[in-house]
Amino acid sequence: MLNKMNPWKKDQNPSGLRERVLQIKEHEVPSHIAIIMDGNGRWAKKRALPRVAGHHEGMKVVRKITRLANELGVNTLTVYAFSTENWKRPKMEVDFLMKLPEEFLGTFLPELIEENVRVEMIGYMDKLPEHTQKAVGKAMEETKDNTGLTLNFALNYGSRAEILDGVRQVLKDVKSGIMSENDLTEEAFSSYLMTKDFKDPDLLIRTSGEIRLSNFMLWQLAYTEFWFTDVLWPDFNEEHFVEAIEAFQGRQRRFGGV
């Protein structure tokens, strides 16, 4: 029987897509998928709509892709929702973006709980508006014991700031004798980052045709497979997600070896 989280209702299943999903599940599925969700504003502009309409539409896509990632057995799905640089955008747009977590989690949280999905966040929580902190905090608290897919929001996140904060903490710990310089390895430094509880991403997806990382997980993406598409995020669908994973499964990952 299909449950609420399962996206494969008959009227939503393009021809052959279900078969491709079953095929994917027979091979290695990326444990951690990270997505730079780009193109909301351009999607809205093409339709003579305000930019916030694109962000609202993009929120629906997060919901669809979370459902599919959960069904595929992905362990972690990290979505780049708001960067530390995005505060430079017009105040009306920023205010709207800060309200989206409330709307998204307010309507989707019961389903996430039912389907054993855990909500997490990386980023600078204390600099978010109180109402945004409350919405995200509530979702994290109510799903903390779930053991399925982790839906990880990169919210007010910037990788350079994260790395600098990690370096500062390492220097502090060396100075105080908690660790020695000789103990500092790549693995040890990773434990000082916001992603310390997550495996590095296996696959990065970026939409909208832009081919850059935009200050996203610069340390963690060292050996990640990248997949870029011209599709704007509000138009991104399950078939595109499947295509990205198929491309991942067709690559040979050497991690610097032969």
At 224 the pLDDT is 98
At 73 the pLDDT is 96
Q: Examine the domain organization and report whether 171 and 67 are in the same domain.
A: no
Q: Examine the domain organization and report whether 130 and 48 are in the same domain.
A: yes
176 assigned binding-site residue: no
- The verdict on residue 123 lying in a domain is yes
Residues 94 and 87 sit within 8 Å (Cβ to Cβ):
yes
The one-letter code for the residue type at 212 is R
Q: Examine the domain organization and report whether 100 and 196 are in the same domain.
A: no
- Tokens (6 digits) for 18: 């279900």
Q: Examine the domain organization and report whether 35 and 117 are in the same domain.
A: yes
Rounded-to-integer distance, Cα 229 and Cα 205, Å: 8
Q: How many CA atoms lie within 13 A of 59 on its CB side?
A: 20
251 assigned binding-site residue: no
87 assigned binding-site residue: yes
The CATH code of the domain that includes 43 is 3.40.1180.10
Q: Examine the domain organization and report whether 116 and 178 are in the same domain.
A: no
- Tokens (6 digits) for 248: 């991942």
Q: Examine the domain organization and report whether 64 and 167 are in the same domain.
A: no
- Supply angle C-alpha 59, 222, 119, rounded to 5: 35
Q: Determine phi and psi for 32, rounding to 5 degrees.
A: -130, 120
Residues carrying an active site annotation: 38, 86
Q: Examine the domain organization and report whether 34 and 136 are in the same domain.
A: yes
At 253 the pLDDT is 76
Count of structural domains, the chain: 2
User: Per residue in 19-59, pLDDT tens?
Assistant: 999 999 999 999 999 999 999 999 999 999 999 999 999 99
User: Per residue in 116-135, pLDDT tens?
Assistant: 999 999 999 999 999 999 99
Residues 51 and 222 sit within 8 Å (Cβ to Cβ):
no
149 assigned binding-site residue: no
Q: Determine phi and psi for 229, rounding to 5 degrees.
A: -140, 150
Q: Examine the domain organization and report whether 105 and 163 are in the same domain.
A: no
Kindly list the averaged pLDDT for each block of 10 residues, start to end, along the chain of length 258: 44 71 96 98 97 96 97 97 97 96 94 96 97 97 97 98 98 96 96 98 98 98 98 98 97 72
At 90 the pLDDT is 95
Q: Examine the domain organization and report whether 169 and 194 are in the same domain.
A: yes
Predicted TM-score (pTM) of the model is 0.92
Domain with 108, as residue range(s), is: 30-73+84-147
Q: Examine the domain organization and report whether 92 and 141 are in the same domain.
A: yes
- The verdict on residue 209 lying in a domain is no
- Tokens (6 digits) for 132: 């945004």
